[in-house]
Amino acid sequence: MVVGEIKTIIFGANGMLGNDLCKFFPDSIKFGHKDVDITDLDKVTDTLAEIRPDVVINAAAYTNVDGCEDEQEIAFVTNGEGPGYLAKACAESGAVLVHYSTDYVFDGSKKEYFESDTTNPINIYGKSKLLGEKRISDQMEDFRIIRTSWLFGLKGNNFVNTMLELSGKMETVKVVNDQFSKPTYTSDLACKTLEIIDKVPGIYHITNEGVCSWYEFSSAIIDNVSPCSSAEFPRKARRPKYSILANSKTSPMRHWKEALRDYLEERKI
């Protein structure tokens, strides 16, 4: 698809992924949370009716996994109903909807998950994101739902930045060694989104290659780190032990270690 020739809207443009999407879709119309709240059905409907985009990319979400346990209503409205409003408006105006979902729609009882595998989220964040997937697929045909995992990117708080901060403050940083997934650089994901728009409708699992635990991930970032178990580090939301997304539909992206090297260089600039 020639990006310059199509009219694209990005919602959630000020988030971590949204920021990189803006770089790969420079001519897009960009809306942050204050410009368009995706939970406002009238605003969403009017915006799409006025602009009549070819493609709508939704990077807006409530992404605080522990926060979702406390603020369940906000989680379900933002991650569930909001994407449904976008889907309804896209169906009415004939636009393609690209939406991002998560590895946390799975329960972690399998070592890896294909796009067609049965979902069974074990926390509110995962349940709310699954509702978003359902609302979209119930209301339109021409969608691309991109499930991804463990994002890091230049804009926003992420695990890599947290590790770098803690490393300077603590003698040893303890990190859990019993949750496994695929870390993914938002810049790589944003670039891959260009390709996914041209693919057939459906669900896509898009991550950097390579599986690791949070501890193994942290060891690639800082030196003063030691492993611990999830039991030693209780969190409000349960996390799946394995949330490894297997991509059976497109060419693989590069290994997360290579992406991390680039990220660490770029954040210095």
Ligand X SMILES: NC(=O)c1ccc[n+]([C@@H]2O[C@H](COP(=O)([O-])OP(=O)(O)OC[C@H]3O[C@@H](n4cnc5c(N)ncnc54)[C@H](OP(=O)(O)O)[C@@H]3O)[C@@H](O)[C@H]2O)c1
Main-chain dihedrals φ then ψ at residue 251, nearest 5 degrees = -65, 145
Cβ neighbors of 52 (< 8 A, separation 6 or more) are 7, 93, 95
Beta-bridge partners for 52: none
The answer to whether 61 and 79 have CB atoms below 8 angstroms apart is: yes
Q: How far apart are CA 181 and CA 120, in angstroms?
A: 16
Using alpha carbons, list the distances in angstroms from residue 44 to 9, 35, 73, 221: 11, 11, 19, 40
Question: For ligand X, which residue of 76, 85, 100, 256 counts as binding (CB under 6 A)?
Answer: 100
Choice among 125, 185, 215, 242 that is catalytic: 125
Q: How far is the CB of 62 from ligand X (least distance, A)?
A: 5
Instruction: Mark whether 125 is an active-site residue.
Output: yes
| Residue of minimal Cβ distance to ligand X | 15
Residue 14 is a binding residue for ligand X (CB under 6 A): yes
Q: Which is nearer to ligand X, 139 or 207 (CB)?
A: 207
Q: Which is nearer to ligand X, 35 or 226 (CB)?
A: 35
Q: Which is nearer to ligand X, 48 or 151 (CB)?
A: 151
Residue-by-residue DSSP string for 92-130: HHT-EEEEEEEGGGS-S-SS-B-TTSPP---SHHHHHHH
Residue 80 is a binding residue for ligand X (CB under 6 A): no
Q: Which residue in the block uniquely carries the two structure tokens 């989104």?
A: 193
| Count of beta carbons in the 10 Å neighbourhood of residue 91 | 17
Count interface residues toward ligand X (CB under 6 A).
26
| Count of beta carbons in the 10 Å neighbourhood of residue 153 | 24
Site string for ligand X, 137-156 (x = CB under 6 A): -----------xxxx----x
Residue 61 is a binding residue for ligand X (CB under 6 A): yes
Question: For ligand X, which residue of 55, 60, 86, 259 counts as binding (CB under 6 A)?
Answer: 60
Among residue numbers 28 through 47, which ones bind ligand X (CB under 6 A)?
Answer: 33, 37-39
Residue 59 is a binding residue for ligand X (CB under 6 A): yes
For ligand X, the binding residues (CB under 6 A) are 11-12, 14-18, 33, 37-39, 59-63, 78, 82, 100, 102, 129, 148-151, 156
Report the catalytic residues: 125
